[in-house]
Amino acid sequence: MSDTFHISTRIRENAEQLSAALQDHMEKVFAPNATKDLRHFSASEAADLLSISASFLRKLHFDGRAPDVDTSAGGRRHYSAQDLLDIRQMLEAGAKKPGTYIKGRRPGDKVQVLSFLNFKGGSGKTTSTIHTAQRLALKGYRVLCVDIDPQASLTTLFGFRPEVDFLETGTVYDAIRYDAPLPFRSIIQPTFFTGIDLAPAGLLLQEFEHETPRALMANAQPPFFARLATVLQDVEANYDVIVFDCPPQLGYLTLSALCASTGLLITIVPNMLDVASMSQFLQMSADLLDVVSNAGAKMEFDFLRFLINRYEPNDGPQQQVVAFLRQLFGDEVMVAPMLKSTAISDAGLTHQTVYEVDRTQFHRNTYDRAVDSLNMVNDEIELLIQKAWGR
């Protein structure tokens, strides 16, 4: 008896089994309604995010200026992300200098559009994207995450199931497709994370890569490289920062994101194989961007930075690679690297980030080390955004 099988049938069966298992896992993690909720923050975390002292935060409550928040039996206060936003708005209303507590866009500021990208998979693009978006949102910025990776990892981290949740509303593909696109604002989803909206991805995004060559021959307008920039104009007034999670390839989707961006963050794991891959990526990017620039794309960036990812400070070869990159690129290599951490990977097992999980779920030193690393990276990115706005 033959053991041969039709490969498409077997792959489809595997996909169905995996989808069912992931759905079961999601329901167990986020029971009973299979949706995510953001944890509350301690008083010390709240004070840090608000850039005030813990004693001043206590005084705000004593004076009746801060809203009532959840309080434990022992009298400890716990703050939701909405509580933080309400307190921030109250502080800003009474501040002598505008922008003291709410540091987003002001009249005349352009929206900052950041692309996280690399040619090589496994460089930490999605991890970097979501942690940056969440840190900025916790600090009062209005953030839109745009997932343009057909694998939809960013979308999944926000608690959605790409294969079933957007059948009615659509994904980024439906907004940028060449045939009867949907308004971009109609596909944007609110998320469980206060301050963040999501333009979700799905497998259909891959069709954009297949359809673009035909669209080029038909001279479809706007051209592929301008489609994301064009649809963002519909919603950009609602946000301070827009972040793209790009696919691990230099295709039409990535080029379209680059042409819509004001800042580029290239993630790089410090080993020579990844550096060699990045060399090819940079050369190909430059060549292709020259082509689209000559075709009329607007290519003006406020900054480009290399973000060292999954860095192990005690790894000698990694130290040498980082020193090599700093010698080559100077200030374009970010000062703060993102450390390799079991806290980040363990949080991912439950589709969470380090900012979402409670400190008590980890060894204190492990958690603090991960959070400190992420904060330094993301606060450096915030400074780049502020500088782009002339502050």
pLDDT (0 to 100) of residue 163 = 82
- Contact (Cβ atoms closer than 8 angstroms) between residue 245 and residue 126: yes
Highest averaged pLDDT of the listed ranges 3-17, 33-47, 115-129, 262-276: 262-276
Least confident of 92-96, 160-164, 221-225, 369-373: 160-164
d(CA 192, CA 130): 13
Looking at residues 237-248, what average pLDDT do you find?
Answer: 96
38-74: pLDDT as tens digits: 999 999 999 999 999 999 999 999 999 999 999 988 8
Is the backbone of residue 89 left (phi > 0), alpha (psi -120 to 50) or beta? alpha
d(CA 132, CA 168): 29
CA 273 and chain centroid, separation: 25
pLDDT (0 to 100) of residue 183 = 96
Edge to edge, the sheet with strand 70-71 lists: 41-42, 77-79, 70-71
Q: Give the residue among 10, 345, 38, 19 at the shortest CA–CA distance from 162.
A: 19
d(CA 102, CA 384): 16
Look at 317 and 6; give whichever has higher pLDDT: 317
The span from the first CA to the last CA of the chain, in angstroms, equals 74
Look at 12 and 127; give whichever has higher pLDDT: 127
Looking at residues 149-171, what average pLDDT do you find?
Answer: 91
- Contact (Cβ atoms closer than 8 angstroms) between residue 146 and residue 243: yes
Is the backbone of residue 78 left (phi > 0), alpha (psi -120 to 50) or beta? beta
pLDDT (0 to 100) of residue 32 = 42
Looking at residues 112-141, what average pLDDT do you find?
Answer: 90
Whether cis (ω within 30° of 0) applies to the bond prior to 200 is no
Under the banding of pLDDT at 50, 70 and 90, the label for residue 13 is low
Which 3 state secondary structure label does DSSP give 308?
Answer: strand
